[in-house]
Structure 1
């Protein structure tokens, strides 16, 4: 048919892609693309500050799935680094269709131990970097008249603090509001911005280690197991993709139901056969 054009290959940028959830998101796209027809379905641009681990991840995706992968070793806490990473990807590989902001840190910092440097660095990585990379993508997509999709990785901590987790929780609460604000302003330009909020997902990180005691305490949820990076990666690909094209400004909780309530708490009083039909004195 005359006038037909070949769709350009998809271009997905994932930050924090050397390991953990970011690495799983990259693998999810590579896995799905490997099953599609066509010589060049898409390109992955993987960003992480750990260049050595990033190269290993890229090599694995190429060998396992035949993926087309570009790597960019970047410390996203630098003032200009997030926007520059998006700019390099756009200029060298082509317009971005999807930006997944998975880079982050979750140190344990008690409120009595907070310092200016520690607070600022955590916000620089967990909140400022996703906002700046989204803004750069937005500027370029609007100028080119192209749609795009952004997914931030948030956390259940955005809704509920824990001892030693106050600064981290604050970064994620701010990120969720930034998600809604960006969705509001960029939506008219065809740019969707959403977040995926994982529950407890062990990733075996040597950067952000989790004690066995903590893991045991937070693993309980209605579905009875902790999450996996692949659980989160599938949700990211779905909400970034065409099947979710009328969804923006949302936070998708992927947590095995742990945000539904506190199932670990005891009953206020023992259950009895008549308790369901007997109103309480406070009713």
Structure 2
């Protein structure tokens, strides 16, 4: 089902989005060498509960996962890229970490993801990969204008990633979001412009370019959730929740402080 939010729901979505952005920024600042993924999950739980919000992940049990997920945040390290289940793993210097967070506040969900280097950035290819997903996200937001179609967003993402030299997987991508975390329409990370659902005021989308170096194939961990590069190559993921408005796309999941 495709949800179209009313003015009151959009006001609540702004609060949900700001909370997601702020929590991700807080966790990025805490994610140092020697910190475990389970510690990050615990901090996410504390921050979500302190805000009076609810996790969208704890009871999440879609058909593609071995659910329920049972944790408060997705933590993907190095070759892991999506649905990274927190585990007893300590972050090492130079790890490429992705944090993906979705919460619901006052009945409206917001979803965002960031990728960054823990400690010392020693590999230029890691920075280039992260930069490509961030530039693809910027292009996706710019394309998410009233009257455009989802294919225009997909094409914008795919153009950036392809020009940067990264293969593109279209199995997992962006999605509608509102009173639930995942809804229609699906927004693939590559596609043809002028195709798909026409963007309307009140539509909210989670746009999430992700890429892996040298492959578009994924494998699933024994935990039934964590998706990794089939070749063990590094991966990165950038995501924002965006509202479609008459004034243009509104990014809701930026942190409230610099």
TM-score by length of 1: 0.26
Higher RCO, Cα 8 Å, sep 6+: 2
The structure with more radius of gyration = 1
Considering fraction of residues, name the structure with more helix.
Answer: 1
